[in-house]
A and B are shown apart, each in its own frame.
Chain A
Amino acid sequence: MSIVRLEDVHKVYPLGETHVRAVNGVTFAIERGDFISIAGPSGSGKSTILNMIGCIDTPTEGSVYIDGRPTSGLTDRQITRLRHQFIGFIFQSFNLVPVLNVFENIEFPLLLGSEVASKEERKEYVDFLIEEVDLTRWRTHRPNELSGGQRQRVAIARALVTRPQIVLADEPTANLDSKTGEGIIELMKRINRELETTFIFSTHDPSIMEIADHIIRLLDGSVIEDRRTATAGAKA
Chain B
Amino acid sequence: MKTLLKTVLIALRNLNRQKRRTFLLGGAIAFGIAIVTLINGFAGSFVENVSENFSNLLAGHIFVQGVEKTAAGKEYRTIADDGILLDIMTEQEMPVTFVSKRSEFTGSLIFQGESIRQTVVGVDWDEEQYLRERLVLLEGDFENMLVMNDRGERNGIILTEAIAEALNVELGERIIARMRTVAGQQNVGEFVLAGVSYDPGLFGQLAAYADLSYVNELLTLQPKQYQTLGIFLTDLGLIDQEAERYYEVLSQRVNVFDRAVEEDGQNPVEALFEQADEQTWTGVRYRLFTLNDVLSEVDEIVRLLNGAALVILLVLFVIIMVGITNTFRMIMYERVKEIGTMRALGMQRPRVQVLFLLEAFFLAMGGVAFGLVVAGIIMLILSRIYLGLDSAIFILLKNGYFTFTVRPLQVAMNTGIVAALTLLAAFLPSRKAALMPPVDALRA
Residue numbers of A with Cβ under 8 A of B are 51, 54, 56-57, 76-77, 80-81, 83-85, 89, 91, 93, 95, 97-100, 104, 108-109, 111-113, 116, 119, 158, 162
Contacts and interface: CB of A to CB of B under 8 A. Distances in A.
Given A99-B13, A111-B3, A54 B344 contact: yes
B151 interface: no
A156 B442 CA distance: 17
A98 B17 contact: yes
Contact of A91 (B10, B13, B341): B341
Nearest to B3: A111
A104 to B, nearest CB: 8
Contacts of A77: 348-349
Interface in B1-33: 2-3, 6, 9-10, 13-14, 16-17
B342 interface: yes
Give me the 5 closest cross-chain CB pairs, A-B, nearest first. Answer: A84-B346, A99-B13, A95-B341, A57-B439, A56-B438
Contacts of A108: 6, 345
Contacts of B9: 104
Interface residues of B, number: 26
Given A80-B343, A99-B14, A119-B2, 10 more contacts: A56-B343, A56-B438, A77-B348, A80-B348, A83-B345, A89-B345, A95-B338, A97-B341, A111-B2, A116-B2
Contacts of A162: 346
Contact of B442 (A84, A91, A104): A91
A82 to B, nearest CB: 9
B352 to A, nearest CB: 10
Given A112-B3, A116-B2, A80 B341 contact: no
B345 A109 contact: yes
A80 B17 contact: no
* Best-surrounded residue of B9, B337, B348, B349 (most CB of chain A within 10 A): B348
Contacts of B346: 80-81, 83-85, 109, 112-113, 162
Contacts of B347: 80, 112
A76 B10 contact: no
B22 to A, nearest CB: 13
Contact of B10 (A95, A97, A109, A119): A97
A99 B17 contact: yes
A119 B6 CA distance: 12
A95 B337 contact: yes
* Best-surrounded residue of B10, B343, B346, B351 (most CB of chain A within 10 A): B346
26 contacts: A51-B439, A51-B442, A56-B340, A56-B343, A56-B437, A56-B438, A57-B437, A80-B348, A80-B349, A81-B346, A83-B344, A83-B345, A89-B344, A89-B345, A91-B341, A95-B340, A97-B341, A97-B342, A98-B17, A99-B17, A109-B346, A112-B3, A112-B351, A116-B3, A158-B345, A162-B346
A173 B13 CA distance: 29
A111 B9 CA distance: 13
Contacts of A104: 6, 9
A9 to B, nearest CB: 15
Contacts of A76: 349
B388 to A, nearest CB: 54
A106 to B, nearest CB: 11
* Best-surrounded residue of B2, B14, B340, B351 (most CB of chain A within 10 A): B2
A163 B394 CA distance: 75
Interface in B303-353: 337-338, 340-349, 351
A109 B351 CA distance: 13
A56 B344 contact: yes
Contacts of A57: 437, 439
A91 B55 CA distance: 77
Contacts of B437: 56-57
A156 B17 CA distance: 25
Contacts of A85: 346
B85 to A, nearest CB: 74
Contacts of A84: 345-346
A97 B13 CA distance: 11
A114 to B, nearest CB: 9
A67 to B, nearest CB: 16
